[in-house]
Structure 1
Amino acid sequence: MSRGGQRAGVTDDQDDASLDRFHEAVERAGRPVLTTDEIARRLDQSRDETEPWLADLEREGGVVSRDVSQDPTVWYPAEWTEYADRERFVVFPNRRQIVVDRPAQFTRAQLSQFARLVDTNGDRGYVYEMADSDIWQAPYDDVEGLLGTVRDVLPQRYPDLEEWIAEQWKRAHQFTLRTHEDGYTVLEAATENLMGNVARQKLDDHHLRAPISDTESWVAEEATAEVKRILYEAGYPVQDERDLESGDPLELSLTLDLREYQHDWVQRFMESKSGVLVGPPGSGKTVAAMGILERVGGETLILVPSRELVRQWRDEILAHTTLDESQVGEYHGGKKDVRPVTIATYQTAGMDRHRHLFDSREWGLIVYDEVQHVPSDVYRRSANLQTRHRLGLSASPVREDDLQEEIFTLIGPPIGTDWDSLFDEGFVAEPRVEIRYVPWTDEESRNEYVGSEGHERRQIAASNPAKIDETRRILTRHPEQKALVFVDYLDQGRDLSAALDVPFISGDTPHHERERLFQQFRDGSLRTLVVSRVGDEGIDLPDASLAVVASGLGGSRRQGTQRAGRTMRPAGRALMYVLATQGAREEEFARRQMRYLAGKGVQVQERTVEEPDEDSEDGEDGEDDADDRTDDDSHVD
């Protein structure tokens, strides 16, 4: 039998062998959709040989091609089109990677228990990876429960993968912190060998006061957080089962209803008594934290990075719980009231002259807002405050110094929801993100950039005057949307403020003036603000629907997420434009900032801005006179 125009003199066996070579390229690449160049490279042949061969395979019905942009064309097995509405799994057990096409929401929820979503095309393809820390932090009482979920969700058994999972689970249960009957803290190892060759080799007299037995050591009370961090870095997360104080009881009720996923967050936290809520901005982490406050029912310390956040937390607690003003205190440079619920800045709580006030009180719950700050030296001291319940909150617990694992060590494991499911259900508006590469205004500006270096070079690219025209163009195309324009340099902020005739808010803006402008923005009397880094976190702007990033902090993924988060709210269409100077290293920084969002399911487009055409319109669909780029063409350090 011939298949769709089989060539004369070519047998079915030859066709099958040819298709097998395509599948060989797919297997080598580790993904089912490949460009022509990728296929040629995987099969060690030229593009000139590959193109006609692929065209023959497509005529024969073995593969399908799609033009995903001007270039390149991508190819994938034809049988995929026959199951367009079904889930399909490709599992790479040696790489501990799972690729799922069109996963159901239940499937995504199950996968999130033991794997991390690292990439998605925003439509139907999801890539998950399993790291040792994902298994260490999996929310199960025993390894059989974890393996049961793995077997339920994957299409078949993978013995080698299951063996690795079991090994990691065992590794995560080798050391335990517990409270001795005399009140001091004990580190217990599963074996004498682990205590002697791991714990006592990695830890010194500052950490361990004295041996108790071959498998037990007395831990210095002030060093417990450091003991956990050091052993975690050695590949042995510590189970913390100490009898920590619950704090004096505090009666309160939440006066609003939690969403289903927020109930799940609260339940998962109460089971482990520690953890970091990780969700997109606008998903209600603060509300879930108040739900946890209600369940814990003990006196609570809330640590935040700024005074603005102190006031916001106080307002939220008074608005949505039965607590009154006499029960909620502020502790920072302006006020120092310790109450049953106390909201303090990290810096103040970490100062030696104030710490004794927090150390001496038996807190039932400590909340670390914007927890990505904790590994910084100035904030880490506050993480040593010990309580039975430790809760972190963050939209992006990633750090450019790669210390995010320390967050989970000091506070607790991540607790989160697949961002895509929140987008799908309409709880959070998925932002449409577009990186726009802006040309230099003239050759003189470009030459100034080329002749500079270091910080000066970055600032010249960031402050490219062409960004002012492009910002004005974007704002003109979206006149009904309330917009935030972000900058990292004060001079650029002032220039944009003057050109657009809108206020500029920076760290130099007095607090009363800052709050007045924010209120005008909230009530709609002011529709555009230029904001420096003070707008990256800790400012409540719930209905900003358009963000323009005129300059960013290097390649900071956290900053990119925070700024996108200013548009990620339950209603409305969210838009974000990131401006980068064409031909400058700023291009790489922009891609790096957005890569974290892309991995969370947010669609990120890239365009090169041409000289504006007075007659052209790009509308809200973004189809303007610009050249598409794809992530395949980008290189990120």
Structure 2
Amino acid sequence: MTDISQEAFHDALEDVGRPVATAEQVARVLGCTQAEAADALAALADDGAVARADVDNDPVVWYPRDWLELTDRERVVPFPGRREVVVDQPEQFTRAQLSRFAHLEDTTRTGSYRYVIREEDVWAAPFDALEDLLAAMRRVLPRECPGLEDWVEEQWTRATRFRLRTHDDGYVVLEAKSESLLGNVAEQKLAEDVLRAPISDTEAWVAEEKVAELKRTLYEAGYPVQDDRDLDTGEPLDVDLDLDLREYQQDWVERFVDASSGVLVGPPGSGKTVAAMGVLEAVGGETLVLVPSRELAAQWRDELLAHTSLTREQIGEYHGGTKEVRPVTIATYQTAGMDRHRHVFDDRKWGLIVYDEAHHIPSEVFRRSADLQSKHRLGLTATPVREDDKEMDIYTLVGRPIGTDWDALFDAGYVAEPEVEIRYVPWTDDDARHEYAAESGHTRRRLAAENPAKDAEAEHLLGQYPDKQALVFVDYLEQGERLAERLDAPFVNGETRHARREALFDQFRTGALDALVVSRIGDEGIDLPDAELAVVASGLGGSRRQGAQRAGRTMRPGGQSLLFVLATRGTEEEDDARSRMRHLSAKGVRVTESGSDRV
């Protein structure tokens, strides 16, 4: 007799697309006779796993006795024509694998995830060969999708159609795979002053100051450009790293050195800065580190002094507070992009440029400094997502992503996987709800964000975990002051003097403080301490990057880390909260939802 397991029966139901099936349908799916299927299903019924019912148009239909067993199972449904994948109740492995070649477009409260495979997802996929990418897709998708694979192969090939190289005489050349590509794509899409003159049917002389514009334009036209120019290598600089790299960090360094450019993408706590120092050691050239703030510049200086052989005399800072150019110079994006300072950086030949917090690069204020190029360009970011959908500019200006599956780092214990819960909080009373309903725009959003019922919920959560140090995040000063008073905790915000801020952070790190309330300044750019518990009382709309940054405060290894995101029930905050957590969901972090009745 054919043996049909309960799992195989569930698979057959999914293939049939209905919650019930006849023995004939099950037999067709599983490749056995109708009689064998009927006998096997009867055996399952005897075991209590399957039930049967007689119907008019067929002697018997079969269905799971426990419907929950079917609804709780992971179900992956590809839509090749739309290049979409819908996953119900996905496992962590599935979410992590999909994040390598697809973009999480939407999630629902019922646990359904919708992914879209875009051109840029294929171009930026972290695989060395097309076969590796296709193998990753086949591990996740339940059936072969030849049309989708053909499209992926076409996109992968597009990423090799154009190449920049340096001519023997020193100028930059754009090289196309065919005469048609040069004439009908490059010459048609690029501004007249980008290409100076043709060299051959497939080559053209490029204006060197227009290289970044060329790369962006062709990228937008669907053709990412390989950058193989002989760029500056800088003066040699001997640097020894005083730390042992983890296996995946060493892999990052080796992959970067092979490619000469790239963006390290990894969760908070994975040691991207340490890996960058490993790159600095491997490259051995004078280095420019670009950061978004003076606080981060100071942090970089301290890390380099603590973990490398570099001396104070070899490290300089260049920003509004001080202006020193040394073999390793740490500058802010804004200062480096200013006309009156630009020549300082253009005149020096850098062997390595590090773009920290690289997700800032597409913004207009930082883009000019990102045009600084060297042979080795290294970006660092935990969250390359941007709400203006320009995250692919990061890879255009710096290089392709280099990363490790988040779930692999969670499993190895290098990074703590947080328990993330979105908690829906009611209004304190009907008057508050009616006031919200009567308003619109920013006032309406702010009323939901500052709902006083969140104060009681935050207090409850900190009381529920008294042994955990907690960070409470807010986006509004009045709310922060109110929460700080209720929780008897200091409030750190933009008006807090630097010395006072650092003193409070040090007290938190040493355990002298159990809780801190922190405004938006804690999202990035300052050396905010890590916590075991984080409560997001209000957030910046649906900013996925802000959500991931705040979750990152709990993602250091050791102990159980908890993140609670509070949203006012029945308001647009519900969707905003889910959107802010979408990046974590895509990376394999399970996000749950619950309600609260505290007021």
Tell me if both proteins adopt one fold, taking TM over 0.5 as the criterion: yes
Cα deviation 1:267-305 (Å, max 9, x = unaligned): 111111111111110111111111111111111111111
Corresponding residue of 2:318:
331
Count of residues in Structure 1 that have an aligned counterpart in Structure 2:
557
Cα distance, 1:368–1:484 mapped onto 2, change above 3 Å: same
Structure 2: segments with no counterpart, 5+ residues: 20-49, 55-59
Query: Match of 2:515?
Result: 528
* Residue identity opposite 1:23 in structure 2: D
Match for residue 396 of structure 2?
A: 409
Alignment partner of 1:226 is 2:213: yes
The offset of 1:63, in angstroms, is 3.9
One of 224, 231, 247 as aligned partner of 1:244: 231
Task: Name the structure 2 match of 1:626.
Answer: none
1:395 and 2:382 correspond: yes
Aligned-pair CA distance for 1:161: 4.3
Distance 1:410 1:369 in 2: 13
Once the 2 structures are TM-superposed, how far is the Cα of residue 128 of structure 1 from its aligned partner? 7.6
Aligned positions of 1:482-561 closer than 5 A:
482-561=469-548
CA contact (8 A) 2:96 2:407 kept: no
Q: 1:74 is matched with which residue?
A: 71
Calculate percent identity across the aligned residue pairs.
62
Displacement of 1:534? 0.7
CA RMSD of aligned residues (A): 3.5
Distance in 2, matches of 1:460 and 1:119, equals: 26
Q: What are the equivalent positions in structure 2 for 1:558-597 lying under 5 Å apart?
A: 558-597=545-584
Is the Cα contact below 8 Å between 1:96 and 1:161 reproduced in 2? no
Question: Cα deviations across residues 468-512 of structure 1 (Å, max 9, x unaligned)?
Answer: 111111111111111111111111111112222211111111111
Change (3 A) 1:546 1:193: same
Change (3 A) 1:256 1:127: farther
* TM-aligned CA deviation for residue 376 of structure 1: 0.4
String of CA shifts for 1:373-424, please: whole Å, max 9, x gaps: 1000000001100101111111110011100111111111111111111111
In the alignment, the residues of structure 2 paired with residue 111 and residue 513 of structure 1 have an alpha-carbon distance, to the nearest angstrom, of 44
| Contact 1:222–1:384 (8 Å) recurs in 2 | no
Closer/same/farther in 2, CA of residues 538 and 268 from structure 1, 3 Å limit: same
- Report how far residue 136 of structure 1 moved: 2.6
SS at match of 1:268: helix
TM-score (norm 1): 0.80
Letter of the 1:394 counterpart: T
Residues 182, 438 of structure 1: alpha-carbon distance in 2 compared, 3 angstrom cutoff: same
1:567 Cα deviation from its structure 2 partner: 0.5
Quickly say closer, same or farther: Cα 1:277–1:61, change in 2 above 3 A: farther
Q: Tell whether the 8 Å contact from 2:474 to 2:480 is kept in structure 1 after alignment.
A: yes
Residue of structure 1 in register with 2:366 after alignment: 379
Residue 320 (structure 1) aligned with residue 307 (structure 2)? yes
Distance change in 2, residues 1:542/1:125 (3 Å): farther
Residue 361 of structure 1 is matched in structure 2 by: 348
Matches within 5 A, 1:329-478: 329-478=316-465
Q: Pick from 567, 571, 585 the counterpart of residue 598 of structure 1.
A: 585
Provide the rounded CA distance (Å) in 1 between the counterparts of 2:2 and 2:131: 50
* Matched residue SS, 2:593: strand
Q: CA deviation at 1:166?
A: 3.1
Q: Which segment is superposed worse, 155-164 or 316-325?
A: 155-164
Q: Taking structure 1 as reference, are residues 23 and 338 closer, same or farther at Cα in structure 2, changes over 3 Å only?
A: same
Give the whole-Å Cα distance in 2 for the aligned partners of 1:275 and 1:350: 21
Q: Decide whether the 8 Å contact of 2:237 with 2:286 is kept in 1.
A: yes
Q: Within 1, Cα distance between the matches of 2:99 and 2:463?
A: 41
For 2:398 and 2:11, how far apart are their aligned partners in 1?
Answer: 51
Pairwise CA distance, 1:436: 1.1
Secondary structure, in 3 states, of the residue corresponding to 2:331?
strand
Instruction: Quote the offset at 1:213 in angstroms.
Output: 2.7
Q: Does the 8 Å CA contact 2:419/2:561 hold for their aligned counterparts? A: yes
Provide the C-alpha distance between the structure 1 equivalents of 2:142 and 2:453, rounded to a whole number of angstroms: 52
1:160 CA displacement? 3.7
Letter in 1 for 2:569: Q
1:268 paired residue number: 255
SS in 1 for 2:71: strand
**SS in structure 1 of the partner of residue 17 of structure 2:** helix
What do residues 573-620 of structure 1 show as CA deviations (whole Å, max 9, x unaligned)?
Answer: 1111111111111111111111221121111111111137xxxxxxxx
The 3-state SS of whatever aligns with 1:412 is coil
Q: Match of 1:342, SS?
A: strand
1:48 paired residue number: none
SS at match of 2:264: strand
User: How many Å apart are 1:542 and its aligned residue?
Assistant: 4.5
- Unaligned runs of at least 5 residues, structure 1: 5-15, 28-53, 81-87, 613-637
1:25 is aligned, of 7, 13, 17, to 17
User: 1:484–1:544: 8 Å Cα contact kept in structure 2?
Assistant: yes
User: For 2:378, what is the secondary structure of its paired residue?
Assistant: strand
Q: Which amino acid aligns with 1:489?
A: Y
> 1:533-590 deviations in whole A, cap 9, x for unaligned?
1100123344411111110000000000000000000112111111111111111111
Task: Check the 8 A contact 1:188/1:217 in 2, yes or no.
Answer: yes
Distance 2:137 2:584 in 1: 26
What is the identity, as a one-letter code, of the residue corresponding to 1:430?
Answer: E
Show the counterpart of 1:132: 119
Structure 1 residue 89: deviation in Å?
8.6
Aligned pairs for 1:43-62 (under 5 A) are 56=52
Instruction: Check whether the contact 1:522–1:541 (CA below 8 A) recurs between aligned residues.
Output: no
Letter in 1 for 2:575: E
| Separation in structure 2 between the aligned mates of residue 175 and residue 226 of structure 1, nearest angstrom | 14
